Amino acid sequence: MKKRLCILILSIICSFAFSNGFIRDRFFEVKVNTPVNFVNNTFHCFDLFQKELVIDLRELADRVPDTGALFCINANPNIEINLNIKDKIRFSYNYGMDLIGNVTLHKNLFTLLGYGNEESGEVEVSGTCAFDAFMFYSFEVATNINKFAFSLKPNLFFPIFGYKVNDLSLQLTNNEEGTLVFEQVYTQEVYFSQEELYYLFTPVMNCAGVDIEGAVEFKPFDLLTFNLNFKVPILPGKYKYCAKENISVTKEINIFPNDESEESDENLSQTEENFDQETEDNASKMDMEEINILIRRPLKANLQVDFMLLKNFLVLSAAGGVGISNPFFENYVVYPEYYFGIEMNFGNILRTSLSTEYINQIFSHNVKATINLRLIQVDAGFSFSGLEFFKTFRGNGFGAFVSVAMGF
């Protein structure tokens, strides 16, 4: 027992001795990142932690805004390779994927579930769905010159595939004869960068997009640092092929077919068979066609100020900037961005931080911890997020990430 305790104490002392800094102080490092984030404007994740989970459909219907229920998810798994040469120049290579998806559903659907429908009436529900997957490569070079530091990172990204549902319309009609008519009409589109799907995840150079990130850091004295960051799209990525399908389905259910259960089951089974036949008849085949859809990632610029206090034990950070989605297109959107954070550094072995931000049009409140044992470093954190600031405190969105770095 004493030997194990001595080994543990010795390991901690060695960690303090050799952990002079974090990532950028290692000569060589490989790092794996796995961030995931989910946001919606209707459900509260705190409801899942109640002792008894009760779903009140009427309360849920009242929660949905008039614009409908929105669900967004994004993930960014990636791997980094970093090389630092005498703290004067740094090279970094990054490879990963961006996965982005969102679904919207009309409020009428939740009103129907919560309050039902009139005895003889119609309910129409609309919605949309979109999903995109991108592959990216980047290479960064950074250097220090006196009180300044400069970095430049060209990014190469490839649209892999996209999926979109347009003009989704669901119509439910109650007839006086006791039948429920279900009509579904929508158009689905699948986008590709190349026609041969066997090579789906093979990058196509003539479909690649290019943007450039850069930063200029100025440290007038040890307690203060200014950091100007920018990201500028240069060339748009492209989708070159689209498979499109128009779908129209009608289903009729006899709610009160007969009093006898056997006949009722027989009629219901017959209805399902008819539905399958109608689905097959009404769905058209997907036709592949050549297209030219351009995609640009956001343009961004921001300025960050860091205050290092108590010999870097406490770091206060504040940043503000602007972002533009769909830059250089007619449907561009300009939005502000900000970041406020506080970080505590315990002997360069343990770091903890709290922050709040509005990035990519999503509000987030983040908790992060870092354990650095020189040869290995683990970062982990979680966040509460949302499309509206006050709803983030109700748990309308949740994010988490884990990253592991190994090096020497």
d(CA 251, CA 403): 49
Listed residue (295, 360, 285) closest to 322, CA to CA? 360
pLDDT of 263 reads 46
Check if the beta carbon of residue 338 is closer than 8 Å to that of residue 320: yes
Listed residue (311, 134, 321) closest to 215, CA to CA? 321
d(CA 401, CA 260): 56
Residue 104 bridge partners (DSSP): 70, 128
pLDDT of 100 reads 94
C-alpha dihedral sign at 159, 75, 71, 392: negative
pLDDT of 126 reads 86
CA distances from 72 to 28, 39, 40, 49, 299 (A): 36, 5, 6, 22, 21
pLDDT of 153 reads 97
pLDDT of 205 reads 85
Mark 227-247 as b/e (b = at least 16 C-beta within 10 Å).
bebebebeebbbbbbbbbebe
- The β-bridge relationship of strands 28-33 and 397-407 is antiparallel
C-alpha dihedral sign at 343, 345, 346, 349: positive
Environment class of 45 (CB within 10 Å of its CB; exposed 0-12, middle 13-18, buried 19+)? middle
310 Cβ partners below 8 Å, 6+ apart? none
Environment class of 10 (CB within 10 Å of its CB; exposed 0-12, middle 13-18, buried 19+)? exposed
3-class DSSP assignment, residue 101: strand
d(CA 310, CA 150): 26
User: Count of residues for the chain?
Assistant: 408
Tokens representing 171 are 């119509």
User: What are the residue boundaries of the structural domains of the chain, listed by start?
Assistant: 2-400
Check if the beta carbon of residue 249 is closer than 8 Å to that of residue 187: no
DSSP string across 325-347: ESTTSTT-EEEEEEEEEEEEEET
Instruction: Centre a 10 Å sphere on the Cβ of residue 336 and count the other Cβ atoms it contains.
Output: 11
Query: Is CATH 2.40.160 the right assignment for the domain spanning 2-400?
Result: yes
DSSP code of 200? T
pLDDT in tens, the chain (408 residues): 544 444 443 443 343 333 333 334 688 999 999 999 999 888 887 777 777 777 788 888 888 888 889 999 999 999 999 999 877 899 999 999 999 999 998 888 888 788 876 655 677 888 899 999 999 999 999 999 989 999 999 999 999 989 999 878 888 777 766 677 878 888 889 998 887 766 667 778 889 999 999 999 999 998 999 999 999 999 999 999 998 888 888 888 775 555 444 444 444 444 444 444 444 444 456 677 889 999 999 999 999 999 999 988 999 999 999 999 999 999 999 999 999 999 999 988 899 999 999 999 999 999 999 999 889 999 999 999 998 898 888 888 989 999 999 998
Tokens representing 317 are 């950070």
Environment class of 300 (CB within 10 Å of its CB; exposed 0-12, middle 13-18, buried 19+)? buried
Instruction: Centre a 10 Å sphere on the Cβ of residue 168 and count the other Cβ atoms it contains.
Output: 20
